């Protein structure tokens, strides 16, 4: 009878160790604190990024524009500029994600839709997203852009 409590205790320890080992690989995430917006500080970073870009310092421009977008994600011009530099650096998925974020804050800015459509079509080969955003671009511009109309027709044929 003396062995049973030891066996039971040993079994409980073994189960506890298995449970703890299973939990060891799991990351405990804290909820992210909301990012504080500061359009005035964002404007300073935007200017810094523009100056760096004009001087050919694209890395510095990306760094400054990232800060600007974090502080004011509603600035569609900065979002667009940053996305285009990322595209030039072959960071297509990152550029597309940034444009999607920009569109969520500024859905009526046609250029964001156009650039997302181009990146989705030519670099990510996501023809459905490209078609969706070419259509939205045309709706917003209300122009009879024959080139974009041709791209839309081509995408529709390719998706059939």
Q: List, for residues 36-61, the tens digit of each pLDDT value.
A: 889 999 999 999 999 999 999 999 99
pLDDT one-digit tens code per residue, 71-130: 999 999 999 999 999 999 999 999 999 999 999 999 999 999 999 999 999 999 999 999
Q: What would the two tokens of residue 13 be?
A: 């320890």
| Whole-prediction pTM | 0.76
The predicted pLDDT at position 15 comes to 55
Fold of the domain built from segment(s) 92-160: 1.25.40
Q: Give the pLDDT confidence score for residue 145 in this predicted structure.
A: 85
Delimit the domains of the chain by residue range.
92-160
Collect all residues with Cβ–Cβ distance below 8 Å to 35 and sequence separation of at least 6: 70, 71
User: 50 with 66: CB under 8 angstroms?
Assistant: no
């Amino acid at each position: 009878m003396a062995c049973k409590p030891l066996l039971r205790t040993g079994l409980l320890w073994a189960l506890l160790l298995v449970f703890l080992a299973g939990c060891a690989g799991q990351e405990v995430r804290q909820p992210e604190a909301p990012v504080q917006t500061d359009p005035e500080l964002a404007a300073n970073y935007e200017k810094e990024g523009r100056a760096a870009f004009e001087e050919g310092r694209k890395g510095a421009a990306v760094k400054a524009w990232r800060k600007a977008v974090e502080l004011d994600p509603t600035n569609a011009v900065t979002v667009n500029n940053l996305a285009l530099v990322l595209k030039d650096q072959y960071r297509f998925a990152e550029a597309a994600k940034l444009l999607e974020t920009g569109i969520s804050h500024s859905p009526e800015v046609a250029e964001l839709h156009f650039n997302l459509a181009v990146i989705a079509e030519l670099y990510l080969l996501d023809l459905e997203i490209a078609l969706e955003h070419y259509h939205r671009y045309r709706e917003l511009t209300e122009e009879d852009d024959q080139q974009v109309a041709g791209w839309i027709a081509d995408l529709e044929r390719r998706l059939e």
